[in-house]
Every structure is written in C-alpha cells, then in structure tokens.
Amino acid sequence: MVSPSHFAAFAALVFVMVIVPGPSVLFTVSRALSAGRRDALLTVAGNAAGVYTQVVAVAFGMGALVRTSATVFTVIKLAGAAYLVYLGVQAIRHRRKLSEALTGAVPATAGRTAAVLRDGFVVGFANPKSIVFLAAVLPQFVDYPAGGVVVQILVLGIALPVVALVSDSGWALVAGAARAWFARSPRRLELVGGTGGLVMIGLGAGLALNGRRD
C-alpha cells in the first residue's frame, strides 16, 4: 500500500516536472493551432494514456531495461521522433483544409477521434522526458519492505498522467483560443497550420538528435 506521504511527495515532484514544457506540451499546442481545440484535448487524453502505459511498463520491468539499455531507449525515442515528423508533414500538406474544418465540412467521426487519440498516445508513450523520469525516479518512492511493488508503482504512477492531463488541457485551451483569432482569415489559418506542422517536424528532429536521456 502506498503511504499518503510518499504519494504526496511524488505528486509534488511530478508537478515540477510537468510544468516545464516538453514534447507533449509542444505537440499539444501545435495540434491546437493546426487542428483546433477539440483535437488538442483529444490529443491530451491520448497522451495521458500513453504516459500511463509507460508507468505500466516500468511496473513490469521495462523501466530497468530502458534505464540500462541505450539501444532500447534510442529505438523508442526515434520511433516517437519519426511519428512527430510524419504528423508535421501531414499538417503542412493539409493546411488549406483548416477553413473547411471550421465550417463543419470535416465531421467529428469516430474514426477521426480514434486517430487523434492514437496520435496523442504514440507521442505520450515515446516521450523521452517521462520515460527517464519514470524509470529513474518513480522506483525511489516505492516502499519495498511493504511488498506489492507492482501495485505501488501503478498507484504512484497515476499522478503523472493526471497532472499532465490538467496542465496540458490548459495549454490546449489557451492555444485553441489563439487559433480563433487566426481563423478570422483563411490565409492566417493556412499560415498557422503550416507553422504548427513545422513545429512538429522541428520537435521530432530535436528528439532524434538529442543524445541525452532527459
């Protein structure tokens, strides 16, 4: 069983880590600017699910593997980077369709919702910032003599996606509001769609080239 003091201490550390903008925040802002508030919030939800999948992986031993194997870490990092670049290219290619989305020409179908959630999930799961944090820091808050290590990690780990969900949703709403101003002009909207795509590509390139584990 996780003690309240351990959970509070870990949650406080999570808050400090989350409020420093990282790949997930930048991706969420880019998605809000290029696709709108709804897609950004769905991205946040998918991202939170991806991050908690990291928690599950740490609970069942992957955390130690990632911490000790540069190859495993690099593969996960490069996969996430490549996906971000792909999404950025798609955003640039389809930037002229943003005005159609605002007029309702692009319906919010179940398939589109699933695709946006999937995008957020992939970026969240491949986020090197949270991978390193969970693999290196989370086990330090486990009370090993008390037993139930897997359950403790799963319970403690809830703090990260919950805090990230609240924080990133705030970023999504702010960026979505800014997008409303750009939406007054089709040309502005195309510009911001292309810019959001470039940010995603730059973020993906930055992740791929970053050799550090933080």
Per-residue pLDDT of the chain (214 residues; tens, 9 = 90+): 788 888 999 998 888 778 766 777 778 887 887 778 889 999 999 999 999 999 998 888 765 665 566 676 677 667 767 876 877 777 677 666 555 544 444 455 667 889 999 999 988 888 777 877 787 788 778 887 888 888 888 999 999 999 999 999 998 998 888 777 766 665 665 666 666 677 768 767 776 776 544 4
Q: What angle do CA 67, 72, 76 make, to 5 degrees?
A: 105
pLDDT value, residue 136 = 73
**pLDDT tens, 84-101?**
687 777 767 766 655 554
Q: According to the model, what pLDDT value does residue 81 have?
A: 74
How much is the pLDDT for 108? 56
pLDDT attached to residue 104? 44
Cβ 41 vs Cβ 172: under 8 Å: yes
Alpha-carbon distance 164 to 45, whole Å? 9
pLDDT value, residue 212: 44
Distance between CA atoms of residues 70 and 61, nearest Å: 16
Say if pTM beats, i.e. exceeds, 0.75.
no
Position 47 scores a pLDDT of 93
